[in-house]
Structure formats: C-alpha cells, structure tokens
Structure 1
Amino acid sequence: MLTIEEEHLLKRELLRLEMNHESEGLDNMVNLDQLGTPFVLPNGQFADGSDYPLCSYVLRNYVVSFPLIKNAKPKFWTETTQPFIQGIASKEISSSADRDETTKRRRMGKVIKRMLLLFFVAGLGSNRKKIKNTEVSDSVEGLNLNEDETSAKSVQSTDSKNSKTSEKSEATDSISTPEVAPSSFNGTFATVLGCREITSSGIMKKTHSEYILECFHDRQSRPVYVARSWQDFVTLSKQLSQSLPGKRLPSLPLKTLKNTVLVINDKEEVVLLREPQRVLLRQYLKQLCFIPRAAQSSIFQTFLFKNPIVLSPVECNDIENRLALDKTRYLSEQEFLTLTLERERKLGKYIAEIKNQILLEDALPKLFMEMKMHQRVEDMSPLLQKFVEWCLVQLAGVLFNLFIAKDTSPELFSQVKRLHNLLPYTAMRGILKLSNPAIIFKKMTDLFMATPFGSKSLLQQMFIKLLNDDMKSQEVLIAELEQQIPEKDIIKAIELYIESDYYTRNALQQLAMDEKVDLIVEIVRTHAKSRNREVMNWYKEWNKTVHSENEDLGNKHADKYSQLKDLLKLKVRAHDKQVMQDFWAEAETMKFIREIVNLTYDVLIDIFKYANISESLGDFQKFMNDFISYVSYATSEVVLNSRQMVNDLLGVLKKHQNSIFKFINKVYARDEGFFIDLVQWMALFVEFIKRGKCDQNKLDLLGLVENSKSADPVIVKKELAELQAWLDKRRKTASESTAGLKTTDDFPVTSQFELSDLGLTAEDVDFGVAEVENENFEEFVLDPSQEVNDPVLLERLRIQKQKDIEARKAQLQPRPLMKETAKLLPAFKTMVFEVLGEAKLDPVKFINV
C-alpha cells in the first residue's frame, strides 16, 4: 500500500514522464495530426488523441474554445491552420547549436512545458481521499509553502537585494560612477563623469560641449581624465565599425541637447550640461568595454588615453554634483521601490480576498459584471477599487523602471516622445469621428491583404522589405568579414553546412560533441578536408587564447578562427532571415492571416461600433501628454523626493484610469457575446484546477500499481523513496545555489498568489522545477553571455558556465532511474486519457454572466 505522499509523488512522476514523451513527439510538429480533432490524419480521419492525452486536452478545451476562433469552421483547422503550422515546422531554421547560444524557441518551450506540468499536477487528483481520512489528505493536498521553501525564497530575495545595494553603494562612493566596472576580462574601464563648455579661439568664437571621461587600465596605478566632444564619439563609432568587420557593436545613442537642473539644499539651482546625454554615453562606453576586441583595439585605447587633462576646480565641482545626482537617483529608485512595496503590502489583504473569491466562489464573472455596470472606478465595489489600485502600483513600478531608473531610459523616453509628437491625433480623431470606423477597417484590411493579379499583398511586401533590409545589413557585415578570409574553400564549407538539412546539421553537431571539438572543425573536416590541418592549428591557438590568463587577443591564428566563428553566426542568421522571407512570400501564410482576420472581423467591428474610438484616442493623447510632462519634470528640471515621485506618478495613472473603464464599459454594455465568452474561457482554467482540488478528475493510482502486470509494486515503492530523497537534497542545494543570483529586473513584480491557491504543494513545484533542471541545468546557472558577441569571450563564458553546470550536477547527484515506475506509463496514459475525456469543461454549467 502506498502512502498518500508516495501516491502524489507517483502522480507527479508519471505526469512528468508523459509530458516528456509528448513534448518529444511534438517537437517538430510532424505528429500534429495525432492530437485529434480539429486536426486531420492523412487519410481524412480524426485521431482520438490517445497518444498525446495532455496536449490533446489543452488543444480541445483551451485553444479551440478561445473566443476569437471558437466559431471557426472545421476547414479553418484542416485546410489552413494545420498546413500553416506544419509549414513553419518544416522550415530549416537554426538551432541552439548553430547559433552557439540558447534560442528563444528553446527557452520558451521549456517554460511552456513546466507550466503544463504544474497545471495538470494541480488539476488531476486521485480517488485516495474517498477511502482515507479526508482531513489528512486535504491537509497534504492543500499544503502551503513549508518553512524550508519559504526561508529559501526569503534568503534569495534578501541576498538579491543586498547584492544590488552593495554594488551600488560601493560604486557611488567612488569618483568614477555608480555603475559597476563593465568587464573583468580585459582590464579596461571607462565612464563619462561630466561635461564642460569650450569656447574656441579666433575671430569667430564658437562654443561647444566636451564630455569628461575617466579611463582606467589594470596596468595603471591611477585613472586618466580626458575630454571628448560629440564628434569624437561619432568618429570612434565609425572607426570601430571599419576596423572590426563583421562585429556587432553597440549603436551610438541619439544626440540630445537637454540640460538638467539640480536643486542643492532646496535653494540653489545648478545647471548640469547635457546630463541625459552623459548618461547615455556612459552606457555606450560600458558596452564597448565589455567587447574585448573593441576595448583592446588601438582606436579605442587612443580615444581613451590620448591627450589627458587635469581637472579644474570648476570641473571637479561639476563632477561632484553629477555624482551626487547619481547617488540621489539610486537612493530615489530604492525608496521608490520600498514605497511601492509598502503600498502593495497594505493592499495585500484585499488581493487575498479577491483571489479567494475567484478560486473558491466563482467571483470572476461578478468582477467583470461591475465593469459592465460602471464607467468609473469610484462607483465600483470597494474590493474592486482596491484591486485596481494594486494594479496601478504594479504599473507605476514598471513605468518608473523603463522611463526613469535605467541608463537607457532617456533614449527610450526620447523615442516615445518623438513618436507621440509625430502622430496626427487631431486629424485621426476627425477621420474616425466623421466616418464609419467599420468601413475604414474593412478598407484597410482589403488594402493590406489584396493580391492584385496574383502579386504579393502589401502586408507581405512590408514584412519582406523589413527582412530584406536586415539581410542587407547582414550581407554588408558578411562581405567585410569574407574580405579578411582568403580561404574561400572554408567559406564554401560553412555555406554547405548551413544549406544542408536539419538531420545533416544535427549529425555534425553530435559528432563534434562526441569528439570534443568545435563545430567549425567538424564542418571543415567534412566539407573542406584539405584545410583540416590548417584549421586545426588555428583552433589550437584559439583554444590557448581562450584558456590563457593573458588577455591579449593579438594571436593571428586565434583571430583567424574567431573570424570563422563570427562568419558562421552571421551566415546562420542571414539564412534564418531568408527562410522567414520565403515564409512570408508563401500563399499558405497569407491564407492563414486572412482567415484569422475574417474570424476576428465581427468582434472588432462591434468594438469600433460601440467604443467611440475617436474619443478614446483623445483620452490616450491626454494621458501621454500628462505622462511625458511627468517624466520630463522628474528627470530634467528638479530632483523630486521619492514619496512625491510615487504620489505624482500614481496621480497621473489614477487621473486617466476612468478613461480605460469607460472604453471597456461602452463595448461591454452592448456586447453580444465576446466579453461573456472571454470570461467563460478564463474561468475554464480556474474550474479545471478547482475540480482537481475537489478530486472530481480522479486517477486510480493504487489500482494502477496493484493491477499492473509489468511493474513490481515493491520496486516502485523503493524507487519513489529514492526519488523523494533526491528531491529533498535538490531543494536544499537549489536554495543555496540560487540565493546569490542577481535578477536583471530592478523592480520585480511580486505576486500575492500562493501555490496552495492553485492546488499545488511546495513539493509539486519542487518536482516541476527539478524536471526542468534535470534536463541540462542551464536555468539554474547564471548566463552572462546573452549580450556578448565576441567569440573568445563567449567561449570563456561558455566554459565557465559548463563548469558551473558540472559542479551543480556533482552537487545534486544524478536523478534516480525510475525504470520500474516507467513501466506503468502505458496504463497511466490510458487512464489519463479516459479521465480527461470525462473532464470536458462546459462553461455554461458553472458561469452565468
């Protein structure tokens, strides 16, 4: 007899094995038709979905039922969607091994896999509670985060905040800048400290600005100060692009002439020249310092260290004021975060009440009904008002982080402001007010989708043009790089590899891994054998450079191999863009888009008909005017105290919150089905989880083990005990290894929802995380290489990351082999298919809006 804990562990393990099987089978969408309705088999019949019960259930109940496409005819799925998806899957798009980095597709797939696993763990219960003590089993199923898990999360959050605080505080004490030194790989550090005005001598005197740089190299005992004009930065950018062909370099930020007024002691105002530009240039230099080949180039070194200056008392005072401003900014950011979290905690009890109502009392339709009845937040129930306030606090943190807190914020704000000023709001409102928006939408759709005389549509031409522009920039980089590589047969070998099919590329990648050599070496061995020895020598020199403590990248053989690595990556990306260009040119693509537009046309027409788009556009213009004024005031004129910044930003959001609800109300009040369908669809997820908590979706796991003819129950019980011991050890080491990791988000959005609210225990989540971790350990090791494009530095980071992964593997020990438990999978799959077949959700039965 299995204990309750062992039974739940068995359920999680079998769901894990089944999810792995289904994700592998559907990896390239070849078996899409096996999911069953609405996809069709080659013989015209529909599969029952028994081979992929979990994914088939998601497809039938959550994808097909989505409000915008739920009325689609069978031909939409069989003749349009299915060929479209399988067409995408058949494209020879590069993999992570080709790009030498983890692709977004791979990362997204892992996230979806984890979410589905936890979803079914929460939604599928067992019939054990019917024959055992209900209170005991309920306590196990509804268990909240245990003390170890809670403390681990607390330690992780605290350490993360402490690490950020220590980094910033240490930096602000230095004269350089509150930014951490960009790179420890090349020993070069540069930042922009201040700005001064210089008047030229002569009859025609002209005044221009010069930025004061602090530059440091680890071979020097003290920093060097230099002055550089904007034109000097422009020249640097051009010269680096010419001297490093094929290298992706950061773009020089846009020029801005804005100044900042600093208020000292609440009385004296000091004008800081070109302060927003200084911050952007500081970020630009930081990015250059992180690219070893650029940082160590003679051009960059000359820019940094030629013609040093001695700072005058006025310049020193200016730098001190700017450093004080940097420190004030940072302290304001921290206090802003503290104040928003404080407001969020005060609203926590209301959020807890809302989540309980949604998950336990079917309150979701009631909340949406209030939006249908009221146009103003002030007229809604106190509970919903608090929820709206909580959302505004979250939104305020995001906006502050994007447009004020970061070094790149001035450039982003400048782009948004420029776009806002260019939009002809008055003309657009007049057109929308005097004409029928539905007719305009129909005409615009026809304009973009029409294919006169069989030619490409305007929409196709737009996307193809964008891709073509990207391809041209890639081709320029490739051409510049190929000029540096006289061995044309090696270039041809790389092209042959890229143009080969998926299975050929995968075989070469696997061969390179087995022989523990780089992919380039294996490509040359296969397609350019005469160059094998030469390239191998380059590879050895490149390896020496990678593993050498000497940061000098001047070895010509190592540079040769680095160029080949750059060329492979550029050609792979160019090939992907060509594939996507061909994809947009295909008739199946436009057919799918046209069908989607047709399905959503009626819904969009209702929105245009009832929402008074012209008035809503005017409301949006007013919000943007107020928001731009707030950001300009907060960043350019005076330094506000944090509490005032929080109150002012929330004031801007609250001032315009009723405009959003007025728009929703106008559409929802006259809605003939879309909003109701949308609420019903959202409630499907909640209902499935609630059924799992109430054991309506029952799995007979005890019967599965006892009646199995292939698996020995004693060995299964032993394997479960070994797995539980491994999970306990994994939880401990996971909390230790992730406690010190820094998050890239300075303002993380916290959640008031707990795992137990979704029918998940801490053990359930640990199990799902362990499954992701067990695949390759990548998510649990910090990856600093996302923005790095130098081959040598990338290889160093990859080697270090691999060492960290291996160390973690050794720390965690291998996952126990569940050979006997896996023998239960066929019978378990049949059971899950039957249970999910009975768990079909009908929204009409449990929701009435």
Structure 2
Amino acid sequence: MTTQANGPALEVTAPSPPPPAPSKRTDTIESQFFVDAPETREEQAEQAQVLRERQQLRRNEPSIMTTTSNTSVPPPGSILTGKQEHYLKRELISYQTQWEISELSHPTALKRFGAPFHSDVGEVAPEDSELPLLRYIFVHHVRNFPFLDKAKEKEFWQDKLQSFLESFANKHISSADDRLEQTKRAKLALKATKLVELMMVSGIPTASGYEERIRFAEMEVVDRGANEQGLIVNMPEGHEINGWDVNVAGVRIVSVKRHVRQHKHAEFILRVKHKDEKERYVARRFGDFAKMHKQLRLELPGKVLPPLPRKNKAQSIYSGRDDGDSDSVSSFSTQDATAPVSQAPDTLAPEASGGIRGYLSSWTGAGSNRHSRNASRTSLSAPSPRASIDAPRGSATSTAKETTSDTVLHREDQRVSLRAFLRNFLSNEAISNSRAMYDFLTEEPLIPNQEELKDIQRRKNMDERRLEEQRQFFEVARDRARELDIHMEKFRRSVVEKNGLRDLFSEIKIKDKIADLDPEFKKFAEWLRIEVAATLYHMFLAEDNSPELFAQAKRIHSLVPYGALKQVIRFTNPAAVMVSVLDIFMAQPLGAKSLLQRIFGLAVGDGIRSLQRSIDTLTSKIDEPSLTEKIRNYTETYEEVKSNVRQEAREEQVDLLVKIFQSEEVEPALSSEQIGRIFNAYVAWNNAVENVDEEMRQGAELYARLKSLLKLYTRLRDKKMMLEMVEEPNTLRLFRDLFTIFYEPLIRVYKSANVYNSVTDFARFADDAIQTIEKAQRQDVSADPNQTVQSFIDLCERHEDDLYKFIHEVHLHDNGLFDKLMTWIEGILDFLRNGPKGGKLDMNALVAGALDMKQVDKDLALREINSLIKWQTARKRWHSDKTRQKMASGGGAQEDGMGGLASTFKPSDFGLDAQDLADMDLGDEDDDESDSDEEDEDDPIEAERKRRRRKQDVLKRTAGEPIKPEVSELHKMMPQFLSMLRMVLAE
C-alpha cells in the first residue's frame, strides 16, 4: 500500500485478505509497520505534519494506518530512528565479528589479541586490540571460568595454549576451497560468528535509549506441543512419510504343512498407499522384514540402519464392548506363538491382566506383582501370576467367564513395534526411495477376506483407544501443571533477579530436605516432578517404539553391577589412578616417543598408508607423471601460492584443478598441448556430470581421476600435519594441564561428597521405575488417566529426596566450586542485561561525525540502513511463513516445544531479545547436513553429481528467501565505530 499526502510516500505492507470465517483474533498484521525514515530535515517536518493530521482522523475512523508507529520519526536532536540505530549497530558489529572470527586462523592472531597472550611488541592494551569483541569475551567469560581461573598466564596461556594454536595455524590444514565442500571447522566458525554477534548485539546498548527492533504482533503459529506431535506420528492412517502412507493393519495366522504336521505362523497385513496410487494390502512374515533389512544393507552399503525389533509372540485380548468398568484390552505373554484361540477360559484368565495398557505388557513381559531384579530378567517370558489389579473384586473364575466372548489378537505388540520400525525407516529419504523398500511394500498384493477385515478393524479400534488415552493423559498432566503457574511465576522472578541463581543454590546448600525449602522452590520441585513423570510416560509407554526402548533399558539395568561399582568408587582414589595412568601413557624415557604419541601415531599412520596406497593405484591409472607431480607439488607448496591460485580460480570462475595446471607458480610447467588436453577433459567431465552419456563419460575419465588425486593428496597432507602436531612435546604437556585443570577439582568434590551412596539410590529408582511401568502396561485402556498420572508422579516423589540429597551433598563439599560457577553465569547475564561497564554506543554521534568529515553521504547511508530493515522484515516474514507451511504439512516442522523451563523463562529474563534470538536460526536451512568429506566414492563423477544435488536441495530449501542488499557506504564508518567499540569494551 502506498499513501502520499503533502509529503514523502509511506510504504506499508498490505495485510492479507481476511479469512472467509470470522476469526476470534482481532488482527494478524504486524504491530508496527516499517516506514522509510525521512532522509532530510524538510521531509521530517513534512512527515510530522502528516502524522499529526492522521492522528485527528484516527479519532473518527479506524484505519489500517492506525498501527503506524510514531517512532518512525527520529527523536529531537537525533539523526536516526530507534530501528535505524539498532540495525546500523547490528550491521557494523556483524561485519567486525566476521572479520575477527576469520582472523583466528591467522598464525599471528593471538599476538594481536592482548593479555594474557604474548606479543612481540609487548603487552597490547585493550584500547589497541585488533580483536576487541573476542578479547572482551575471552577476558570476562572464558579466562575467569571456575576451572580456568587458576591457570597461570605464562606457563599455560602463553607457553602451552598459544604455542599449540599458533603451531596448528601454521600447519594450514585444508579449507573448504581445497575440498570443494564446507568443512566441519567452517560450520563451527559460522555458528561461533552467530553466537558472538547475538551476544554483542543484545549486550551492548545504544546511548539514545530509543533502540528498537522489528516486531510482529501475532505469528499465527500452530500451538502444538511435542506430545501432540507424537500422537500424529502414531496415527494408524493418514500419516504420509516421503510419499508412503503405511500401517501394519492386521495379523493373520497361516497354516503350512511341512513333512507330516501342520505348522502355523503369523503374517502381518500391511496397508500401503504410495503417493497417488491406489491403496493395497500385502502380507509379510517377520522373516520378510529381516530379509528386507538385509537387502537394504546391500543396496545402501555403509549406511547405518536401525535394528529390527526383537521377535515378540505376545497376544492381546480384544473386547468389542464400550469402555466402562469392564476390561476392553488385555495382554499376556506366551511361550508358543500358536496358542489356540479356543483356549479354555480358565487358562486364559490368569494371563489376561486387563490393565491400562494391557496390549503393551508383553513388550517386556507381564511382570509379577512384586518386582525384583531377578524378576526383571525373566519377565520377558514369565506370565503374570495374577489377574489385573483393576479387575472387579471376585474370583478368577468370574473374570474368565467375561473373556469367553473376547477375541485374541495375535502378535499385537509385534505389530505396533514393526509399524514404528517401518515409519522410522521411511522417514529417511534414501531408504524410502530404495528398490528393496518398494518391492517389500508393493509385491504380491492381496485382497483381505471378511475375517481379516474384521481383524483390521479391531486393531484400528485399539489404536484409536490408545491415542485417546494418551490425549487424556496429556490433558490431565497439563491441567496439573497449570495449577502451578502462579508459583512458577514467583520462582521465575526470584531466579532472574540479581544473584538469583546464587540464592537458589545457597538455599540448596543450607536446607537438608525439599520439605525445608522456601514455598516457591518447593513448588518448583513439584512442577519438576510432573515434568519428569510426563517424560517417563512419553518415553516408555506412549510411543510405538516404547517397548523396544523399555526392554533395552531393562537389559542394561540387569547387567550393571551396582554393588561392585559402589565399592570401587568408595575405596579407590580415581585422581591418583588417573594420574598414574597418564604417567604410563605420557612418559618419554630418554626422550623417546611416549606411549600416547605412539598410539596416535599408529592410528594416523594407518590412514596415511591407506591414502598412499590409493594414490599409488590412481597414479598408475593416470599414467601422466608431470600431471600427478604438479598436483602433489601444489598440495605441498607455500600457503601464499595456494591462496593466489584459489583467488585466480574464483575471479576467472574456472575449476580449481584447471587453474592449478595453468599456474606457473607450481612446478613442473606444462606445455600448451597438455593444458589444452586438460581443459578439453574438464569440458567433457562437466558434460558427463550433467548428462548421463557413456561417450562423454569416457572422455571425462582422466579429469575425474585427477580430481580424485587432488583430494587424496590434500587429505594425505592434512594427516601428515596432524601427525606432526601429535609428535610435538608441547601437545602432550597441554593435554596433561587440561586434564589437571578440569578433572582433579571434580574428583575432590565427589570423593568428599560420598557419591558412592548415590549408586544404590539410582539402582532403587531403576527398580521402582521398571515396576511402575510394567504395572501401567497391565492396566486397562479405559482406566482413569488420573491414576496413571499419579502413579508416575508418585514414582518421582518417592525418589526425589535421594536426588536432592545428592545435589545437596555435592554442593556442600564443593569447596566453593558451585558458587564460582553461579558467579560466572551471572556475570554473563549481567552483561546481557546491563551491557559493559565502559558505556554505550552512540550511533547518532557516529553518523554525525562521519557526516562532518564528509566520510559518508547521508542520503545513501540512510537508504542502506532502510534497505537492511526492509530485508530483515521480509526475511522474518519469509521464515515464519515457511514454518507455518511445514507445520501445516506435518513434515517435521519445528514444534511448539516451549514447554517446561522454556515456557517459564523468557529470553528477556536473561537480557536477550527474542527477535535477535530467532535470527540465530535464520539461514540455517542451507546447512549441508551430510558430511561429504567422509564419503569415499569410487566414482568421482557420481560423487560430483551428489554434491551438486545437495547444492540444489539447499537452493530449493531457501527458495524465495530475501537476499541481503549490498552495503558499502555504512562500512566506511568502521574505523570510527571500531574506536568507539574499543573504548566501550576496554575494561
């Protein structure tokens, strides 16, 4: 929308048309529209008059323009509006942050850093540091970390750490330019840049006090927590994953005659719908799942596949009656998968433990009433010795009579586990598109008969009951947590105020029990109890893969020797043991290599020898000594030569390998015929990558091998440099110092706090948790969710005092370690809330000074600032729209997982602006999740195709994202801004 009335045009984003149905929400537009700031004093006066006239009109008729903010006009005496101040500050800090992070890879970076690092020109004052942002973070938030504060300046920081980092920088390990991919160090540098930028933009305020950001009134993000997302994943149908909608819908028993006797086995009926194809049913035995798993390993070699669920022959009892006091679902374990359906009622009764999740009991076995360690180990096969605890009072015979009309659902628990297994597989795009998976889901379709359709419907009803029971559980838990909101608000205020964290831990240190804590802290413990209970329920009961996870946890618990572990911790001195072990590994008799160096050397040496064998094989295939020697010389030449070659390749937009062969700085020199042949091979290789053509592929073979050779030589040099680092004596000394600094204080704390007693406490909690979960599995689906909630809350309540005692004892004997840690954390929070003690950034004075010196053009500078604000506005809107689209499609969008502490505390409590924090995630869509450097493709052409496909995927994910405008005029103010920044951070 564009409006003009005796002044400059006001551009605002037109609101989206209203929905056809009336909405309960008042509006969905931004609370503050962006308006170009006037760029001359005459325009400012004219726009102020326009705004005054519109204020008169607002009283008579509401308009879309009523949301225009008066802050679009700079305050009296100022050049910039609040938004312009913020985004100018942000752009300049971002520019400086990127430069400082990139400088860290330079060998002389630490010499220009300042104290505590050594410099050739003497100590560098804070006002003269070339890296003021990183210097401030290091001095105030790294060097004073509770463990590192005891490190000596010369012995540790200068002689060991500085020497190690400078040695690493001088090795010039290969970069993304050399490998044609983003290295892990490059990704880490990107994250570090964002983190430093967020911290400094949020922490350093501007002097005017009018600083503001782009804000949105209501984002209309779907309110759906992680638990509700889990319900969608567990739905029996309508949940499409990578084009497949698959459900293990039923089970049928098939009789096959072998030799003499008839043998019965179960076949799982899969309902399959692929994209726009018609729905079909297929039948698969458990062995077919195993065969598919093996075929995937052959089709996708090297890919880590989740294991197949264990074979489970448990059966469930289904009743078609409406939910009420009687059982509707029960479960029991069998030793024989072919237990007859017509089994006598009296023999069924003890097994049919109709409980809240009877269908789950055999995932880990229907455990006995009294849980013990031995019972845990045998419960997978042992039947339940009694009827359900929820069964009506009466004899077992009466319970048996009620089950005569019930139906046995064979392998129900296995069906649910296999559904989770399949959907987990299909969530991986490579697996869902594989031939093995397609054949498994589509071959030999069948038409279910009437009995099989009835079985499918029964199991669908059970799935619906489970989902409804989960919803009830989450509602009850949410209602209980809502009761604590008032107390949690008081707790939040007490924590975020000054010294709040220190007061909290001092309370824990003084009070022996939870019951003695202040009311707000006790309510926080109660809230935490509910959160942990809901988490346990969700992990071990609510998901399709919960039985596998629970069975695995039980197996691990049964194997841990808690008694022996307790005695070892009690009577040994781990600090002395570790020091002795270190002496063994790090001793250098008569100056020889230490054992640790030899171990690392062997590991790296194996990699070097393997690479050398590959290089020798490839060199013999190429059979061009001058070409292979030039590649080897390039990887081993000086870094300045490499930089020149890479720069020329970027400027001329040619492949790096072509430029290497053209370079005269790398020996040996090639003839014009050889260079021409290389260029023709490059053209053929490029065409072979884009087009699957055997003729072009044959012509590109030479270039493909040369590219592989360059990659192998680059890796070989990297490993040789790492081997040199390992063999340097300073590396071992640094490792020993770091171990001493971090390990010994923790060991002293846990020895003095009698941590060994907590081993027994944890074992008791694990036993009790297993018993509680198995009891919940045996209860009825129609049971009161309040009872289920309360059973898990009671579990946490029984053991919370043990956990509190552990924290209390550790804090009581920590020799001030916790207090130092809290002081360190509060130092960071104080910086984010109040900024540095050196003052604030006066952005208006910065611009005024640049204008007085005629360093920048005012109109051009303001235009660039406004273009940055427009870009940020469009970028936030694009990101929010994309998020809504993901959530609407259910395709793994970011969930509204702001539960727990995240919903109690807000970013503003810690000095962070929510909009700045959200910007940390913007742009992460282009992260390449695959690690290309770990792929060893035998076919370099195919590897290049994959690399280009990944790049295309990144472009698709970021399609439509607004592009940052070019900024040049603002960067002319960097020298003055840097001086101002140094003064603010010089403390």
Q: Structure 1 residues 208 and 535 mapped into 2: Cα distance closer, same or farther (>3 Å)?
A: farther
> 1:223-247, CA deviations, whole angstroms, 9 ceiling, x for partnerless residues?
25132443x44444444544566x5
2:832 to 686, 689, 709: 689
The aligned counterpart of 1:278 is 418
Which residue pairs with 1:808 in the alignment? 961
Question: TM-score, normalized by length of structure 1?
Answer: 0.75
1:621 pairs with 2:773: no
- Aligned partner (choices 681, 685, 690) of residue 543 of structure 1: 690
Q: One-letter code of the match for 1:35?
A: F
Whether 1:54 aligns to 2:133 is yes
Retained in 2: the 8 A contact 1:181–1:189? yes
Name which of 220, 226, 248 aligns with 2:283: 226
Return the offset for 1:282.
1.0
**What per-residue deviation string (whole Å, max 9, x for no partner) do you get for residues 299-350 of structure 1?**
5555555555554555555544554555555556666665555555544444
Say which SS state the counterpart of residue 172 (structure 1) adopts. coil
1:40: Cα distance to partner? 1.9
- Equivalent positions of 1:104-115 (< 5 A) are 105-115=185-195
**Alignment partner of 1:739 is 2:804:** no
Question: Kindly tell me: are residues 835 and 531 of structure 1, through their superposed partners in 2, closer, same or farther at Cα, counting changes over 3 Å?
Answer: closer
Instruction: Summarize deviations over 1:436-492 as a string: whole Å, max 9, x none.
Output: 5554555555566666787877777888899999x79x989x99xx99x98898998
1:802 to partner: Cα distance: 1.1
The answer to whether the aligner puts 1:11 opposite 2:71 as a matched pair is: no
Note if contact 2:253-2:264 (Cα within 8 Å) is conserved in structure 1.
yes
What CA distance in whole angstroms lies between the structure 2 residues aligned with 1:396 and 1:533? Answer: 67
Q: Is the contact made by 1:190 and 1:286 (CA closer than 8 Å) also made in structure 2? A: no
Offset of residue 705 of structure 1? 3.4
Indicate conservation of the 8 Å contact 1:377/1:385, yes or no: yes
Matched, 1:754 2:754: no
Q: Is the 8 A contact 2:752 2:813 kept in 1?
A: yes
- Which residue of structure 2 lines up, in the alignment, with residue 817 of structure 1? 967
- 1:370 aligned residue: 507
Whole-angstrom CA distance in 2 between matches of 1:326 and 1:573: 55
Query: Cα gap change, 1:244/1:614 in structure 2, threshold over 3 Å: closer, same or farther?
Result: closer
Q: 2:117 aligns with which of 18, 39, 48?
A: 39
The answer to whether the 8 A contact 1:36-1:47 is kept is: yes
Do residues 295 (structure 1) and 454 (structure 2) align?
no
Task: Name the amino acid aligned to 1:156.
Answer: V
**Aligned twin of 1:181:** 241
Q: Identify if the C-alpha distance between structure 1 residues 10 and 511 changes in structure 2 by more than 3 Å, giving closer, same or farther.
A: closer
**Which region of structure 1 is more displaced relative to structure 2, 822-831 or 21-30?**
21-30
Q: 2:328 aligns with which of 260, 267, 270?
A: 267
What amino acid is the match of 1:619? Answer: D
* Counterpart Cα distance in 2 of 1:260 and 1:95: 58
Displacement of 1:681:
0.9
C-alpha displacement of 1:61: 0.8
The verdict on how the C-alpha distance between 1:314 and 1:738 changes in structure 2, with shifts beyond 3 A counting, is same
Secondary structure of the corresponding residue to residue 897 of structure 2: coil
Contact 1:350 1:383 in 2 (8 A): yes
Cα distance change on mapping 1:380 and 1:165 into 2, 3 Å: closer
Q: Which residue of 1 aligns with 2:397?
A: none
Shift of 1:279: 3.7
Residue number among 972, 976, 980 corresponding to 1:827 in the alignment: 976
Alignment of 1:59-138 (within 5 A): 59-74=138-153, 75-87=155-167, 89=169, 105-128=185-208, 137=209
Q: Distance in 1 between matches of 2:760 and 2:751?
A: 17
Could you say which residue in structure 1 is the equivalent of 2:806? Answer: 663
CA drift of 1:57 comes to 0.6
Q: Structure 1 pair 616/151, CA: closer, same or farther in 2 (3 Å)?
A: same
Deviations 1:167-224 (A, max 9, x none): 759x6345xxx4x233x4xxx7766555566665225776665544455666964425
Bigger CA drift: 781-790 or 753-762? 781-790
Q: Which whole-Å CA distance do the structure 2 matches of 1:508 and 1:741 have between them?
A: 43
**AA partner of residue 617 (structure 1):** V
The DSSP-based 3-state class of the residue aligned with 1:808 is coil
- Opposite residue 172 of structure 1, the aligned amino acid is P
State the TM-score, normalized to the length of structure 2: 0.65
Q: How far off is 1:368 after superposition?
A: 1.1
The DSSP-based 3-state class of the residue aligned with 2:157 is helix
- Aligned partner of 1:386 in structure 2 is 523
Residues of 1 paired with 2:699 and 2:300: CA distance? 15
Instruction: Work out which structure has the larger RCO, using CA pairs closer than 8 Å and 6 or more positions apart in sequence.
Output: 1
Q: Is 1:509–1:519's contact at 8 Å kept on the other side of the alignment?
A: yes
Partner of 2:79: 2
Matching of residue 612 in structure 1 with residue 690 in structure 2: no
Q: Offset of 1:52 from its aligned partner?
A: 0.9
Aligned to 1:598: 740
**Cα–Cα, structure 1 residues 459 and 415, in superposed 2: closer, same or farther, change >3 Å?**
farther
For the aligned residue pairs, the C-alpha RMSD in angstroms reads 5.3
Kept after mapping to 2: 8 A contact 1:261/1:638: no
1:405-804 to 2 correspondences below 5 Å: 412-436=549-573, 439-440=576-577, 442-443=579-580, 446=583, 537=684, 539-540=686-687, 542-544=689-691, 587-630=729-772, 646-692=789-835, 697-708=839-850, 709=853, 711-712=855-856, 714-715=858-859, 716-717=861-862, 719-742=864-887, 743=892, 748-750=897-899, 751=902, 752-759=904-911, 778-779=923-924, 795-796=948-949, 798-804=951-957
CA–CA separation in structure 1 for the residues paired with 2:591 and 2:547: 46
Do 1:262 and 1:637's aligned partners in 2 also have CA atoms closer than 8 Å? Answer: no
Indicate conservation of the 8 Å contact 1:198/1:209, yes or no.
Answer: yes
Larger radius of gyration: 2
CA contact 2:241–2:423 (8 Å) conserved in 1: no
Partner of 2:44: none
CA distance in 2 between partners of 1:503 and 1:649 (Å): 65
- What is the number of equivalent residue pairs in this alignment? 784
- In structure 2, the CA distance between the partners of 1:362 and 1:217, relative to structure 1 (3 Å rule), is closer
- Shift in Å, 1:126: 3.9
Contact 1:627 1:652 in 2 (8 A): yes
CA contact (8 A) 1:785 1:794 kept: no
In structure 2, C-alpha distance between the alignment counterparts of 1:325 and 1:565, rounded to whole Å: 61
Give the whole-Å Cα distance in 1 for the aligned partners of 2:286 and 2:529: 42
Change (3 A) 1:659 1:448: farther
Aligned to 2:218: 151
Shift of 1:428: 1.2
Q: Percent identity?
A: 25
Give unpaired runs (5+ residues) of structure 2.
1-77, 331-408, 664-669, 936-941
Q: Secondary structure at the match of 2:221?
A: helix
Compared with structure 1, are the counterparts of its residues 711 and 397 closer, same or farther at alpha carbon in structure 2 (3 Å cutoff)?
farther
Is the 1:197–1:207 Cα contact (8 Å) retained in structure 2? yes
* Conservation of the 8 A alpha-carbon contact between 2:224 and 2:895: no
When residues 508 and 234 of structure 1 are mapped into structure 2, their CA distance, relative to the original with a 3 A threshold, is: farther
Contact conserved, 2:492 with 2:905, CA < 8 A, in 1?
yes
Q: Distance in 2 between matches of 1:666 and 1:655?
A: 19
Measured at CA, do residues 204 and 762 of structure 1 come closer, stay the same or move farther in structure 2, by a change above 3 Å? Answer: closer
**1:537-566 deviation digits (Å, cap 9, x = unpaired):** 5654553579xxxxxx9x9999999x9999
Q: Is the 8 A contact 1:497 1:523 kept in 2?
A: no
- The one-letter amino acid of 2:92's match is L
CA contact (8 A) 1:159 1:739 kept: no
SS of 1:663's equivalent? helix
**Which is further off, 582-591 or 513-522?**
513-522
1:836 paired with 2:985, answer: yes
Check the 8 A contact 1:249/1:288 in 2, yes or no: no
